[in-house]
Amino acid sequence: MMNHFELSDNEFEEQFSACKLNPHIFTHEAHLRLAWIHIHKYGINGAIDNICSQLQNFVKSIGASDKYNATVTVAAIRAVYHFILKSKTDNFLSFIDENPRLKNNFRELLGYHYTTDIFKSEQARVTYLEPELLPFD
């Protein structure tokens, strides 16, 4: 398996939640896809709850618990939600093509919300920090 797009949305979600997804295909884009799937299936609050829990389990299962960052995770889900609210697409591939900033300028995008470097902050890693600048939708 070389790419997360080789899996259907259901297969991708199921493999991830069961900690059976190949970690090499769980790229930044795959994180965004997971958020897109969960927001559409469970709403924004359900997506946040599900993904935070499942991602902690996933990184633990691959021996990378130090990679989990609560603030980046929630902020990414909220950023995807913001763009979903403006999107007219019904599939992730069209959505990411329509919103390339999520994929290509993610750090810059979150910089509009935070003065804290949430990618390096230990506090941001263990607990969700609300944006200091611009709130999410």
Sign of CA dihedral 39, 100, 114, 63: positive
Residue 114's alpha-carbon distances to 5, 74, 87, 96, in angstroms, are 31, 13, 24, 23
* Domain assignment of residue 131, yes or no: no
Q: Would you state the pLDDT for residue 78?
A: 98
Residue 2 reports pLDDT greater than 80:
no
Look at residue 10 and tell me if it is in a domain: yes
Across 27-37, average pLDDT: 97
* Cα–Cα distance, 78 to 137 (Å, whole number): 7
Say if residue 15's pLDDT is above 70.
Answer: yes
Does residue 15 fall inside a structural domain? yes
The string of pLDDT tens digits covering residues 34-88 is: 999 999 999 999 999 999 999 999 999 999 999 999 999 999 999 999 999 999 9
> Residue 133 falls within a domain, yes or no?
no
Any domain includes 132: no
Quote the CA–CA distance of 108 and 105 in Å, as a whole number.
5
Quote the domain boundaries for residue 11.
Answer: 4-126
Question: Is the pLDDT reported for residue 1 higher than 60?
Answer: no
The domain total for the chain is: 1
* DSSP assignment of 107-126: HHHHHTT-SS-TTT-HHHHH
Residue 102 CB burial class (10 angstroms; 0-12, 13-18, ≥19): buried
Q: Is the pTM of this model over 0.85?
A: yes
The answer to the question of residue 20 being in a domain is yes
For residue 83, the model assigns a pLDDT of 97
Q: Amino acid letter at 60? A: K
Asked, for residue 46, whether it belongs to a domain, the answer is: yes
For residues 86 and 105, give the distance between their C-alpha atoms in angstroms, rounded to a whole number.
Answer: 18
Average pLDDT, the chain: 96
In a domain, 25, yes or no: yes
